[in-house]
Amino acid sequence: MAMNPMQRRARTSFIIGFLVALIIGALAVGGLLLKIRSINEAKEAIEALQKQVYVATEDLESGDEVTMDDFVKGIVQTSMTTDEMITPDYFEFEEDGEIITKLDDDGNQIQKTMVMKINVPKGTIITKDMMYESGKGLKDSERIQEFNMIRLPSQLKNGDFIDVRFSLPNGQDFVVLSKKKVIGTNATTVWLQLDELELNLMNNAIVESYKATGSRLYAIEYIEPGMQKDAVPTYVASSDVLNLINRNPNIISEAREKYGENINGLSDFRALNIESSLEATRDQSESLVSSGNANEDQSIKAERQTYVDALEGTDDIGYIE
Looking at the DSSP bridge assignments, the partners of residue 217 are: 166
As averages over each run of 10 residues, the pLDDT of the chain (321 residues) reads 65 73 78 78 67 89 88 81 83 75 77 86 89 71 87 92 91 91 90 89 85 87 88 83 71 56 58 68 53 66 85 81 62
Looking at the DSSP bridge assignments, the partners of residue 98 are: 95
Contact 259, 242 (CB under 8 A): yes
Q: Residue 265: its pLDDT value, please?
A: 57
Q: Which DSSP state fits 122?
A: T
* Alpha helices by DSSP H, the chain: 5-49, 196-211, 239-247, 253-259, 263-270, 276-280, 286-311
Q: Residue 295: its pLDDT value, please?
A: 63
Residue extents of the structural domains in the chain: 51-133, 143-311
Q: Residue 22: its pLDDT value, please?
A: 77
Contact 136, 180 (CB under 8 A): no
Digit-coded pLDDT (tens) for 154-207: 999 998 999 999 998 888 899 999 999 999 998 888 999 998 888 888 988 888
Digit-coded pLDDT (tens) for 248-273: 776 655 555 555 555 455 666 676 66
Yes or no: domain 51-133 corresponds to CATH 3.90.1210? yes
CA distance 106 to 309: 39
Three-state secondary-structure class, residue 179: strand
CA distance 186 to 206: 20
CA 213 to the chain's CA centroid: 37
Q: Residue 142: its pLDDT value, please?
A: 81
Sheet-wide strand order for 114-116: 65-66, 114-116, 131-133
CA distance 135 to 56: 22
Query: How many other C-beta atoms are found inside a 10 Å radius of the C-beta of residue 302?
Result: 12
Contact 178, 258 (CB under 8 A): no
Tell whether the torsion through CA atoms of 134, 139, 143 and 146 is positive or negative.
Answer: negative
